[in-house]
Amino acid sequence: MGSTKVGIKGSKFYINGKLTYSDIEGSNPGAHGLLMNARFIQGVFDDKGNRGRYARFGYEVFDPDANTDRLIEALPEWYRYGLRAFTVGFQGGGPCFTINNHTINNNPYSEDGTSLDGEYVRRMEKLIIAADNIGMVVIVSFFYGAQTRWLKDDNSVRNAVKTASNFLRDRGFTNVIIEIANEHNINEFKIHPILYNPEGIVSLIDVARRESGGMPVGCSGGGGYSNRDISMASDVVLIHGNGCSRQHYYNLIMRVREWEPDKPIVCNEDSQAVGQLEVAFRTKTSWGYYNNITKQEPPANWGISAGEDTYFAYRMAEGIGIKMTNIHEGDRYCLQGFESNFTFEGKRWIRLASLYPEEINFVDFFRNGDLIYTAYDEPYTVNYISNWLQGPCLIKEEDREWKALIHLRNGRIIEKTFRK
Amino acid sequence: MSKTHINVKGEKFEINGELTYSEIEGSLPSAQGLLMNARFIQGIFDDKDMRERFARFGRSVYDPEKNTDDLAAALPEWYAHGLRSFTVGLQGGGPVFTIDDWSTINNTPFSDDGKSFDSAYEGRLERLIKAADEIGMTVIVSLLYQAQAHRLKDGEAVRNAVKTACAVLKNLDCSNIIIEVANEHHVGNFKIHPIIHSAEGMSYLIELAREQSGGMLVGCSGGGGYSNREIAKVSDIILIHGNNCTRQEYYNLIKKVRSFGMNKPIVCNEDSPCIGQLEVSLRNGASWGYYNNLTKQEPPADWGITTGEDTYFARRMAERIGIRTPSLRFEDQYYFQGFERDITIDNKRWIRLASLYPETINYVEFYRNGELIDIAYDEPFMVNNVTTWIQQPCIISEQDKEWKALVYLRNGQVVEKKVELR
């Protein structure tokens, strides 16, 4: 039996019978019952077709086991900041900045869905046990869009739900929440109507609940999406905030809450925009940090890395009421994207991270003295596409200096510079 | 003879041979050459089938002539704050907040074959363009609106309508006119006319309008965030709309259009009440268009600079051009809007918190009789936000005693605004 038992009463989460965070002295009662989480979707990642291409970011080889082990090592630090759950995908997620998911073979299911790859099972098992040992919950996501092409038909999908759910049940896990599919309504799921249509998802939620022996189940859609039938069939209403402004995200929560006032609402994928986290705390809903660069490009750096990861962790702790050492004023802004190993094909992803992005009006980015971009929306990225996606900068030999001028709402201007 | 002559040099506008705003002492060089504008799309509005439904907002009848004259009378005040252009529609725009089906409005000057033009519309249009001309303002005349598309019977009628409208404009002998062929050419019911809906068709209509008007400046807008290289290429002015764009999306739109490398003015002639967007526009050398559906697109509009959003837009525009206005007290920089006596219909009100400096606001909590009912996080800070330019109404009942907005500023300060209802 597990040592971490997740329970749900009304809209609140309990761990081992106690409201989450209520065990922390001085914690904010408004945060009790929430399940702050992060998207660590590549926790059991592999690419059976072309593993060699992940020997990058300072690693000489990509070792799927070492990838999982490093995540396990990082969990206690995240826990200390208040993280109580993370989402890991049996079929991973897209390394959206560097590799087309349609070229990846990251799938544990046989094509008829009746069996699971033993290596994936081993990695998933050790990850869930490690989380269990320290009081953390794992949201296990069964399907990822582009990887469902390895399943031959809808019947195989149903089988795969049974197989994965039976695995979770047979191991006796008590710290698991099941997400049927990661954003079931996106185009890549169209090849499987049972995953793409809400009616199909509703049936799979029932299958997963039954075959897992009663684990909590839900299913997310794309950013801003909600579906009443799926919400009603779910134990946990899973939402995604990708591409939402704070207002859109708030409106999404209000809409879902009107349908299901007495169920937990858990965002398990948003972005690195911690302004959204504030909306979550204020509406007493759980939020999921998603950083595609630091956490979805294998091999991920699973720790709380400098910049966005740190600021999220700190804001999460602050919202929960966990006392942390103050971040020095000079360290509250970070011109990010110049980490020595974090480059791919000469590309870098440059952005200005901040502990309090609400204070920023806009950020001007200069390359060798030339203004090349202004960022107006959080997260303040060069070549902004969405709150979780940006275009790269191709770094050239001539690049000597990058500078960010941070125009604060109070009129002050802060300068952050990176010099070669 | 026209007194106001508009022309374009590269990305800049000139009026009577001088860069716009350059005649104003102390004006900012960054604003010179821009054409700040507003959407006054209902300037010659009529509903030939059901005019009486616009007898509202304190008016006992709807009089299209008075509507136009009121706008003409309001222009000098707008001019004083820096407005140098406005968009008026020959077929108006949608009263988005109050009429569900805008196709029920009969607001078109064209016969169904597009060959003739209603003389009453022509009279109103002439008065308006001449009133603008008199004071140094330009007019963006929008020829076609999607909710009236069904009133033109086919593609030939559309071509005829463009020719007819351009002949009317040419006949005015005014040089303060810019033509927008269609308001958002690819939206709504324009789909019934491929010549409007497709970029290829629209490119042809732009050329046709230029030729038939005797060489007036021509462009065509698309929906919020839309741009089309083919249309931009054939336009004299690249018209864009910022509806429902975040500041970042609007910035990216300007950047994308500029990357076409066409060296033409970029003019947004429809955005929203979000003056945060105005800042993005000015900082990036694009002209901006204020669009307030509630104060300016629900006939009969109050065409003046009304308290709240209109005033804040006008003042920010003036400030960023370098036109001096007396400063506003801090408490007057935030206005709890939507409770104006006459602006209500079927007990509906559209409640929002307007500000001179919306950038200073983190979020706004709205309370109804002491109960928190909504939080607004994005500008404009509205109850029941839908997009940057649409909100759902609140139905006001007998029980409503007090509405309150708590405005949480980015600096930690909280400003309270309260309205007592009787």
- Calculate how close chain B gets to A247, using CA atoms only, in Å: 5
Nearest to B337 by CA among B288, B380, B303: B380
Shared-domain flag, residues A306 and A197: yes
> For residue B362, what is the nearest residue in chain A, using CA coordinates?
A358
Nearest CA in chain A to B388: A247
Q: B102 is written with which tokens?
A: 């805008």
pLDDT of A210 reads 98
Residue B93 lies in a domain: yes
Same domain, A315 and A356: no
Which of B288, B321, B354 is the last residue before a domain boundary?
B321
Residues of A in contact with B248 (CB under 8 A): 375-377, 384
Mark yes or no for CB contact B359/A358 under 8 Å.
no
Among B268, B291, B321, residue at a domain's last position: B321
Of chain B, the percentage scoring pLDDT greater than 70 comes to 100
In chain B, residues with a C-beta closer than 8 Å to the C-beta of A409 are: 359-360, 410-411
- Which residues of chain A lie closer than 8 angstroms to B247, CB-CB? 362, 376-377
**Which chain A residues touch B410 with a CB distance below 8 Å?**
358-359, 409-410
Residues A376, B280: C-beta atoms closer than 8 Å: yes
* C-beta atoms of B246 and A361 within 8 A: no
Whole-angstrom CA distances from A132 to A86, A176, A230, B193 are 12, 9, 28, 62
- ipTM reported for the complex surpasses 0.95: no
When CB atoms are compared, the residue of A377, A409, A410 closest to B248 is A377
Q: Chain A contact for B412, CB < 8 A?
A: no
| B329 domain residue, yes or no | no
Contact A359 B363 (CB under 8 A): no
Distance from CA of B248 to the nearest CA of A (A): 5
Average pLDDT of the segment spanning B102-107: 97
A325 in a structural domain: no
Domain limits at A375? 331-419
Average pLDDT, stretch A209-231?
98
- Co-location of B235 and B349 in the same domain: no
The C-alpha of B333 sits at a distance from chain A's nearest C-alpha, in angstroms, of 16
Q: How big is chain A, counted in residues?
A: 420
- The domain in which residue B308 lies consists of 6-321
pLDDT at position A2, please? Answer: 82
* Domain's final residue, options A320, A349, A380: A320
| Domain co-membership, A285 together with A359 | no
Q: Is residue B261 part of a domain?
A: yes
Please, what is the average pLDDT of chain A? Answer: 97
**Domain count along chain A:** 2
Please give the Cα distance from A203 to B211 (Å, whole number): 62
- Interface check for A137 against chain B (CB to CB < 8 A): the answer is no
Strands A413-419 and B402-409: unpaired
For residues A359 and A347, what is the distance between their CA atoms, to the nearest angstrom? 29
pLDDT of residue B422: 77
Q: Are residues B406 and B279 in the same domain?
A: no
Instruction: Name the minimum distance, in Å, from the CA of B53 to any CA of chain A.
Output: 33
Out of B248, B284, B378, name the one closest to residue A384 (CB). B248
- B353 touches A at CB < 8 Å: no
Q: Residue B400: which residues within 8 A CB-CB, separation 6 or more?
A: B368, B369, B421
Whether A121 and A109 have beta carbons less than 8 Å apart is answered as no
Q: pLDDT grade, residue B331 (50/70/90)?
A: very high
- Whether B30 and chain A come into contact, CB under 8 Å, resolves to no
pLDDT computed for residue A1 by the predictor: 55
Task: Report the DSSP beta bridge partners of residue A386.
Answer: A389
Residues of A in contact with B251 (CB under 8 A): 374, 376
Region A97-103: mean pLDDT is 96
The string of DSSP letters for B137-154 reads -EEEEEEE-GGGGGGS-S
Contact indicator for A249, A221 with CB cutoff of 8 Å? no
Structure confidence at residue B167 (pLDDT): 98
Cβ contacts from A onto B, under 8 A: 45
Instruction: Select the residue from B245, B246, B372, B406 to test the A interface by mutation, using most A Cβ atoms within 10 A.
Output: B246
Helix axes of B155-172 and B119-135: crossing angle, nearest 10 degrees: 50
In terms of domains, do B375 and B313 share one? Answer: no
Domain final position from A285, A320, A355: A320
Of A279, A361, A410, nearest to B377 by CB-CB distance is: A279
CA atoms within 13 A on the CB side of A392: 16
Same domain, A22 and A122: yes
Domain-embedded: residue B71: yes
Residue A374 and residue A228 share a domain = no
Average pLDDT over residues B287-292: 98
- Does the pLDDT at position A111 exceed 90? yes
Chain-chain contact of B410 with A358 (C-beta, under 8 angstroms): yes
The answer to whether residue B326 is domain-embedded is no
Same domain, B349 and B317: no
Do residues B242 and B183 both lie within one domain? yes
**pLDDT given at position A378:** 96
Residues A284 and A162 in one domain: yes
Determine the residue of chain B that is closest to A357 in CA distance: B410
Q: Are residues B138 and B231 in the same domain?
A: yes
pTM beyond cutoff 0.90: yes
Q: Look up residue B113 and give its DSSP letter.
A: T
pLDDT tens for each residue of A205-214:
999 999 999 9
CATH number assigned to the domain comprising residue A337: 2.60.40
B 276-335 near A (Cβ less than 8 A): 280, 283-284
A269-317: per-residue pLDDT in tens?
A: 999 999 999 999 999 999 999 999 999 999 999 999 999 999 999 999 9
The answer as to whether A1 is a domain residue is: no
A326 belongs to a structural domain: no
Q: ∠ CA(A9), CA(A244), CA(A318), 5° rounding?
A: 55
Whether residues B133 and B276 fall in one domain: yes
Q: What is the pLDDT of residue A420?
A: 86
* CATH code of B380's domain: 2.60.40
Domain shared by B342 and B316, yes or no = no
Chain A CB within 8 Å of residue B411 CB? yes
Would you say residue B1 has pLDDT above 80?
no
Residue at a domain's end among A320, A347, A369:
A320
- Judge whether A342 is closer than 8 Å to chain B, CB to CB: no
Q: Which of B236, B128, B131, B221 is nearest to B178 (CA)?
A: B236
Q: Taking 80 as the threshold, does the pLDDT of residue B173 lie above it?
A: yes
Of the pLDDT bands very low, low, confident and very high (cuts 50, 70, 90), residue B282 is very high
Which CATH number fits the domain that encloses residue A93?
3.20.20.80
Which chain B residues contact residue A358 at CB under 8 A?
A: 362, 410
Please report residues of A whose CB lies closer than 8 A to that of B283: 374
User: Are residues A354 and A210 part of one domain?
Assistant: no
Residues B201 and B316 in one domain: yes
Residue at a domain's end among B286, B321, B356: B321
**A16 interfaces chain B, CB cutoff of 8 Å:** no
Among A250, A375, A384, beta carbon nearest to B377: A250
DSSP B4-44: --EEEETTEEEETTEETTTTSTT--GGGTT---EEE-TTTT
Contact B283 A377 (CB under 8 A): no
**Closest residue to B377, CB basis, from A246, A376, A377:** A246
Do B340 and B305 fall within a single domain? no
Residues A95 and A220 in one domain: yes
**pLDDT tens digits for B240-272?**
999 999 999 999 999 999 999 999 999 999 999
Nearest to A410 among B284, B363, B411 (CB): B411
Same domain, A209 and A127: yes
Q: Are residues A158 and A246 in the same domain?
A: yes
- pLDDT tens per residue across span B301-323: 999 999 999 999 999 999 999 99
Do A281 and A208 lie in a common domain? yes
B387 touches chain A (CB under 8 A): no
Bridge partner list, B353: B336, B381
- Contacts of residue A284 in chain B, CB cutoff 8 Å? none
Can you state the percent helix, strand and coil of chain B, rounding each to 5?
35, 20, 45
> Which of B360, B375, B378 lies nearest to residue A245, judging by beta carbons?
B378
User: With an 8 Å Cβ cutoff, is B362 touching chain A?
Assistant: yes
Q: What is the dihedral of CA B199, B203, B204, B209, to 10 degrees?
A: 130
Cα R_g (chain B), whole angstroms: 21
Q: How many domains does chain B have?
A: 2
Q: Is the Cβ–Cβ distance between B218 and B181 less than 8 Å?
A: yes
Contact with chain B for residue A374, Cβ under 8 A: yes
Query: A296-308: per-residue pLDDT in tens?
Result: 999 999 999 999 9
How many residues belong to chain B?
A: 422
B109 with B229, same domain?
Answer: yes
- A359 and A306 fall within a common domain: no
Residues B378 and B285 grouped into a single domain: no
